[in-house]
Each structure stands twice: as structure tokens, then as C-alpha cells.
Amino acid sequence: MIIGFIGLGRMGAPMAARLLGAGEGLVAYDVNRAAVDELVAQGATPATSAKEVGAKADIVFASLPSLAIVEDSLIGPEGAANGGRARIIVDLSTSGSQLAIKLDKALRERGIVSFDSPVSGGIKGAREGTLSLMVAGPEAEWAQVRHLFERIGKPFYMGSTPGAGQTMKLVNNLLGAVAIAVTSEGMAMGIKAGLDPARMIEVLNQSTGRNAATQDKWPRAVLPRTFDFGFAATLSLKDTRLMIDEAKALDVPLPHGQAVLRMLERVVETYGQDADFTAMAKIAEADAGLDPERAI
């Protein structure tokens, strides 16, 4: 089996590298030629387009930054589905259930099996193979390809309904973003009252307030004031908008999601397109009358 990989960004490149040696070869493509060259140096074969990946690989994985790019790269005129060889296509991106349903329909019409399998765990998890993968797709084919997913991380099969993996990922991302937002507010209050932030995190992580933000994001990116956890606020904003849109279609109110959406919008407006989503802490600090550019 020849494996293909489209999208060699900060998440895609380490995931692709973990698939080297899993089949008879790995064909890789990215618009950034340097990223392709780096993987080629590890043993991959380069491709010049997504369509070429679909012409050379039996199963194609994609990790891409936006819905438009996912759609174009997989089912567009120059997409992998038009390469002629691929029989299974896996979207590892967070692209929402509606696009997953659209991809599934378009791929089935071409005789191609579709899996939506967004991932969680960040760049560190991608490098170490400890990501969680939320997978939806046909059960029979799942049994055949599960071992490939297990090279990337721990897969959780969510069923055969197209988009089920995407829905699970959006729920996960909402909870993760809310944890950062509410931790930002609590920490800002404590800091303004004169508490030591490092001591606060230590207490929270031994108490009922602990969460993914206190356990990982604050020690790694907020307390040292680097704000470089590795997930862009623009991507978190995209995911939150997706979640709100899909919740609206299901008639599910998301008041906390709306609040996080506004906070992420402010991060991007204030700190730019490259800001990390942990910069929500700086927004809460500024609102509390603290100097978000100070060292603590």
C-alpha cells in the first residue's frame, strides 16, 4: 500500500513522518516546497500537486488549514480524488461535519471511501504519536486501515456516520477554548489581588479548578510569557465559529461559545494573525487593568 500525505504544516509534517515505513512508500505534497524537501530527506517521494498524490497513493491523508483548502485539495479539479488511484481519503483537518458529509458524498460517487478524522494533542502530540484521533467512516474499511491511524496516535472510532468525528472534535475544541478563557479571568483576578500566579497554578492543579489550561497551557506558554503553545488564535477562532454554526443548525445554544468567540476575535484584532490562542490571557489581564506585556 502506498500512502499519500497532503499538507505538511506544523501538525501535518510530524504526522506524515510517523507514517514513513508504514506502507510501501509515502508520497507527500505541500505548497511549501521546503516542507516537502524535508520529508523527502527522511525517505518520502515528492509530488507536485494534490492530484498527483491521488495518482500515486492508495490511501491519502490530508492535514490542511481551512475548509476551502480541504475541499479544493480533495475534490477540486486538481484534488486527490481526481488522481485515479486513491481508494481511501482521510481528512485529518478540523473542517466541520457539513464539509465531511459533502466530501463523503463526492468521494463515494468516485468510488472512494471517506474518513473524517480530526486530531487533538498539538504539535507535541503529533511529534510523539500521542494525538487523539476522532474517526468516522465505514466500519469494514476502518478495520483494514486502523493500524495506520495508530502510528499517529490513539484513534477513537465514532461510528460510520459522516461527520461524527468532526462533531466530536468541535465539542473538544469548545471545551478547550472555554478552559483557557475562564482560566484567564480567574488568574487575572488573583494576580490583581496580589497572588503569585505560579503558586495559583500549583494550587489549582491540586484542586477542583484544574483543567487542560492550568495543567499544560499556563506552565508552558503563559507563566513564562512566551504565548507560543503552538495553536494560532485564528485557527481556534475558525473552529469556534464552526462549532457555533453547527450548534445553531441543531438548535443548541452556546452562550459560553459566543463569549469565547468574542475573546478570540479580540486576540486577533489586538495581537495579529500569528497570535497564539493562549493570548486570551492577555485580553483578560488588560480588561482587569493589568499590563499584559509585563513579566511575571
Q: Annotated active-site positions, please?
A: 169
How far is 122 from 236, CA to CA, in rounded Å? 12
Sheet of strand 153-157: strand arrangement: 119-120, 131-135, 153-157
Which residue, among 190, 168, 173, has the nearest Cα to 260 in the 3D structure?
A: 173
Q: Which residues neighbour 162 within 8 Å (Cβ) at sequence distance 6 or greater?
A: 97, 100, 101, 103, 104, 105, 114, 116, 136, 137
Phi, psi of 194 (to 5 degrees): 100, 5
Cα 138 to Cα 4, 158, 285: the distances in Å are 20, 11, 47
How far is 34 from 203, CA to CA, in rounded Å? 44
How far is 53 from 80, CA to CA, in rounded Å? 6
Q: Which residues neighbour 182 within 8 Å (Cβ) at sequence distance 6 or greater?
A: none
